[in-house]
Amino acid sequence: MSQFLDTAIEAAGIGGRVLLDGLTDQERQQIDRKRQFDFVTEVDHRSEKAILDFIKKRHPDHQILAEESGGHHERQGYLWVVDPLDGTKNFIHKFPMFAVSVALLHDGIVTVGAVLDPIRNELFYAEKGKGAFLEGKPLKVSETHDFSSCLLATGFPFRAKHLTDSYFEAFITLFHQVADFRRAGAAALDRA
């Protein structure tokens, strides 16, 4: 395992612990609206700060782009991309489907990534050229060739309501062609 993958995995674990701790004091949490239909909690900020502090300490010369605090970055060099709480609405509603996502790009190409489901303590991770894993076991791409037997994962354009008509038109077309859809509200887990 490379030092960068190790950093991604440890950072996701740090963020995951913050999320689990946040579940216990959820009633006292402040929930803010970033924009219509888009929310952020104190736990989003605490998880992000803990992750960023860890990455900055380990790789002080790397750039970071994080969901809540943003960041300025160049296309060249190393760039960490962090979603400290994927599935904020699920977290707010105590629906146990949310995750922490941490990835590293080098010159614009993803080299490592880790997605932690803290509720189930499941860790998905990948490293360029080495494959993807769940809890140390290799993940395989589905061997299903029959489109009608496929299970597709999707999301909904809640930030871009103006796209819903075209989105649902495509959704309906696909709905009639596949076995089923999966959409639980945490994009990283929906697609893991």
Domain ranges for the chain, please list them: 3-138, 147-190
Task: Assess whether pLDDT exceeds 90 at residue 67.
Answer: no
Tell me, yes or no, if the pTM score tops 0.95: no
Q: Which residues contact 105 (CB under 8 A, 6 or more apart)?
A: 78, 79, 80, 81, 111
The confidence score (pLDDT) of residue 139 equals 94
pLDDT digits (tens, 9 = 90+) for 114-153: 999 999 999 999 999 999 999 999 998 888 889 899 888 8
The confidence score (pLDDT) of residue 26 equals 56
- CA 5 to CA 15: how far, in whole Å? 15
Q: Sign of dihedral through CA atoms 159, 120, 17, 191?
A: negative
The confidence score (pLDDT) of residue 141 equals 85
What residues are paired with 151 via a beta bridge?
A: 180
Q: Measuring CA to CA, which residue among 150, 137, 81 is closest to residue 110?
A: 81
Residue 68: half-sphere exposure toward Cβ, Cα within 13 Å: 23
Superfamily covering domain 3-138: Fructose-1,6-Bisphosphatase, subunit A, domain 1 (3.30.540.10)
| Second CATH level (architecture) for the domain 147-190 | 3-Layer(aba) Sandwich (3.40)
pLDDT digits (tens, 9 = 90+) for 32-50: 555 544 445 788 889 999 9
* Phi, psi angle pair for 191, to nearest 5°: -105, 0
DSSP 3-state of 106: strand
